[in-house]
Amino acid sequence: MAAVCTVYTVQSLNSTPTKTHLGFHQKQVVFYSTGKRISSSRRCSNITCSAADGTKTVVIGLAADSGCGKSTFMRRLTSVFGGAAEPPKGGNPDSNTLISDTTTVICLDDYHSLDRTGRKQKGVTALDPRANDFDLMYEQVKAIKDGVAVEKPIYNHVTGLLDPPELIKPPKILVIEGLHPMYDERVRDLLDFSIYLDISNEVKFAWKIQRDMAERGHSLESIKASIEARKPDFDAYIDPQKQYADAVIEVLPTQLIPGDNEGKVLRVRLIMKEGVKYFSPVYLFDEGSTISWIPCGRKLTCSYPGIKFFYGPDAYFSHEVSVLEMDGQFDRLDELIYVESHLSNISTKFYGEVTQQMLKHNDFPGSNNGTGLFQTIVGLKIRDLYEQIISSRVGAPLEATKA
Amino acid sequence: VRPVAAAPEGLSEKVAESVKKAEETCSGDAVSGECVAAWDEVEELSAAASHARDKKKESDPLETYCKDNPETDECRTYDN
């Protein structure tokens, strides 16, 4: 049996690359051995075999319905790692991929097995597993994780057709975002961390009205009909994935304003699974206690309807979890730094990093409420997780070569 | 609320068309596969239109100009 081996330089393991290594970064040398041990070559090259635990790329899964803020989350996440994420240069203008220095984000719609016409003929939605090629998804995500570049198809959202493929090189961090990142067990097992954005029906409706009412042809009825029609498939195939997520961000209508359904003031819950390797949940004041906190008072003035926090242990799909909840919205920055200073385990590198990240993107949707805050915190937790995974590999590079 | 800017490249027309088609398809049978697939197409196009609108909105006229003309007075920036 042949083992697939990948040669790469130490540069990818180090946070501070030296000049001499720069040219090697994208070069992936793949060769096959007949199971014999390969000794590490001189200088800075490292050899790992995928047969051993020599995975290089860290893979993150993000699941959410369309129109639920995946792209905003992605922009916040890539910003934590620094550098802007942009579509591949010179390729298909309708490519769904975003590439930054450290991160590559691929959209799982690219693994549709049926194009728009095909789905209409068969009478299935994009949510239906029958419209998706999970075998190809698994093979390509696995290949990237093993350090091998792949030719990934492109699903064109404008034309509804499957376009010719684009080359995806293995990045440091691969994010797969879409409707089904945790649906297939094989793909799920490849994920180092998984997130589910859970938007309640009321909020989804309010957001889609904001998004679509301006569009010609749409009416309240058509927006409602579209949500209703997709709901059975959503409940059957998308929603159940949240039980596998390491972190779930739930977005609910506020409880501070009775009968509010505008979707502007939100109650957002960050549900964090306990016992996940390299991921320690955020807590408020005292880990494991149940706490309700209203930061408004003598030290902080909040306008109507104010801000309310909750923290406590809970059970989620019979998993032990910690829940951090924020209801209400920020009016000013000093409120956020005040809140940040009372949160622990947020994996910041300096005091005020959460606030700084939020300020940097104060024009993104959700920047004044819990969605932006929790998305930023999850971004920092992912950076922490990535750094821990990398340093654990640096600690045992020789063991990895022993296949 | 009226549109800030309509989605470009005829996407607006496509959305309107798909809504009309979905309403027609569903007038006979509201739970058939064809009906559900038609509304799914509406969602996909609406999302694409909204993404296109966001992209368009984001562009600052001066920034766009400076990308092409970095040497002009209004665009020159020095790090030190």
**All structural domains of chain A with their residue ranges:** 57-196, 246-388
Lowest mean pLDDT among A286-295, A318-327, B45-54: B45-54
- Predicted local confidence at residue A48, as pLDDT: 40
Nearest-Cα distance to chain B for A65, in Å, is: 10
Distance from CA of A359 to the nearest CA of B (A): 17
Give the count of beta carbons closer than 10 Å to the beta carbon of residue A40: 13
The answer to whether the CB atoms of A217 and B23 lie below 8 A apart is no
Q: Which of A170, A156, A195 is nearest to A279 (CA)?
A: A195
**Segment A364-403, tens digit of pLDDT:** 888 888 999 999 999 999 999 999 998 887 766 555 454 4
Look at strands A58-63 and A173-178 and give their pairing. Answer: parallel
> Of B36, B44, B46, which has the smallest distance from its Cβ to A215's Cβ?
B46
Residue A32, pLDDT score: 44
Which helix H or strand E contains A225, and what residues bound it? helix A220-233
Name the residue of chain A whose CA is nearest to B58's CA: A363
Say which range, A114-123, A339-348, B25-34, has the weakest mean pLDDT.
Answer: B25-34
pLDDT of amino acid A41:
39
The CA-atom distances, in angstroms, between A188 and each of A143, A182, B61 are 14, 5, 44
CATH of domain A57-196: 3.40.50.300
Asked if A214 lies within 8 A of B15 by C-beta distance, the reply is no
- To which residue do tokens 């597993």 refer? A129
Residues of A in contact with B63 (CB under 8 A): none
Predicted confidence (pLDDT) per residue in A214-254, tens digit: 777 778 888 888 888 889 999 999 999 999 999 999 999 99
Report yes or no: A183 and A234 within 8 Å, Cβ to Cβ.
Answer: no
As beta bridge partners, residue A178 has: A63
Question: Which of chain A's residues have a Cβ under 8 Å away from the Cβ of B43?
Answer: 66-67, 226, 230
pTM of the predicted model as reported, rounded to 2 decimal places = 0.81
Q: In chain B, which residues have their Cβ closer than 8 Å to the Cβ of A211?
A: 46, 50
Interface test with B, best of A216, A220, A264 (most B CBs within 10 A): A216
Q: What does the pLDDT read at residue A401? A: 53
Could you tell me how many CB contacts below 8 A there are between chain A and chain B? Answer: 108
Residues of A within an 8 Å Cβ radius of B: 66-67, 71, 116, 119-120, 122-127, 157-158, 160, 208, 210-218, 222, 225-226, 228-230, 232-233
What is d(CA A106, CA A152) in angstroms, rounded to the nearest whole number?
Answer: 9
Closest residue in B to A209 (Cα–Cα)? B1
Contact predicate A281/A294, CB 8 Å: no
B-chain residues within 8 Å CB-CB of A124? 33, 36-37
CB contact under 8 A, A229 and B36: yes
**A247-253 and A193-199 as β-strands: parallel, antiparallel, unpaired?**
parallel
- B35 shares contact with chain A (CB less than 8 Å): yes
Partner residue facing B37 (CB), from A123, A215, A217:
A123
**Cβ under 8 Å to A: B residues 36-75:** 36-51
Q: Which residue has the higher pLDDT, A180 or A3?
A: A180
Which residues make beta-bridge pairs with A251?
A199, A268
Q: How far apart are CA A238 and CA A374, in angstroms?
A: 22
